[in-house]
Amino acid sequence: MKSKISAKEAINLIKDGATIMVGGFLSCGAPSTLIDELVNSKTSNLTMISNDTTYPDADKGKLIVNKQIKKLITSHIGTNPETGKQMHTGELDVELVPMGTLIERIRAKGTGLGGILTPTGVGTVIEENKQTMEVDGKKFIFEKPIGADFALIYGSKVDKFGNVSYYGTTRNLNTIMATAADTVIVEAEEFVDCLDPNEVVIPGLFIDYIVVKE
């Protein structure tokens, strides 16, 4: 069985300067209880890998407003004006990555690949300072895998073995982030004794700790 711990105990594992992946597409499937506890902890100088920074008053956006993030690797910042503000003042180092590329870089880490080749960004600023190559006469950008010290993810239902299931689109980036971090903490919307094997989306072997949503 996996360790079921409190949100505070889980966040106490994360120290200043850590790299974290945070699941969710905007607020859909975001581990809000874990994020709120991280905001309260004041842990700082974090590198965050996420699909977006939501809104200033919501989940991942609170970490930006609270200036706990020193570097951000993401695909979308348009819904959070504070992210753009900090980027332009130099307070926040932002690496914008096309969404599909971001997902595949995380997937590459989780599957042990040395990187990916993508045509996305060829001939644009995305290509600058990156290795390129041609395959069958077509140019590709080489992108390195990306992983993290911790992944904070959400699960619609989680059982005592760490198996995770999802309702609808709440799975989003949570599923691949579970494969690409040293320590994976899942926030369970509902905690059950044992999932039907047909429901399992993330096998429990990827999960280290379970936090039941408050």
As a whole number of angstroms, the distance between CA 11 and CA 140 comes to: 39
List of domains in the chain: 3-111+146-212 (3.40.1080.10)
- Using CA atoms, how far apart are residues 53 and 188, in angstroms rounded to an integer? 21
Per-residue model confidence as pLDDT tens digits over 143-182: 999 999 999 999 999 999 999 999 999 999 999 999 999 9
Cα–Cα–Cα angle for 85, 125, 143, rounded to 5 degrees: 100
CB atoms within 10 A of CB 169: 9
Q: What is the pTM of this model?
A: 0.96
* Whether residue 213 has pLDDT greater than 90: yes
Does an H or E element contain 82, and which? Answer: helix 81-89
For the chain, report the end-to-end CA distance as a whole number of angstroms: 21
Q: What are phi and psi of 114, to 5 degrees?
A: -85, -5
Q: How far is residue 84's CA from residue 141's CA, in Å, rounded to a whole number?
A: 26
Radius of gyration of the CA atoms of the chain, in A = 17
Q: Is 213 exposed, middle or buried (0-12, 13-18, 19+ CB in 10 A)?
A: middle
Q: What is the pLDDT of residues 58-83, one digit of tens each?
A: 999 999 999 999 999 999 999 999 99
Structure tokens at 110: 């989780």
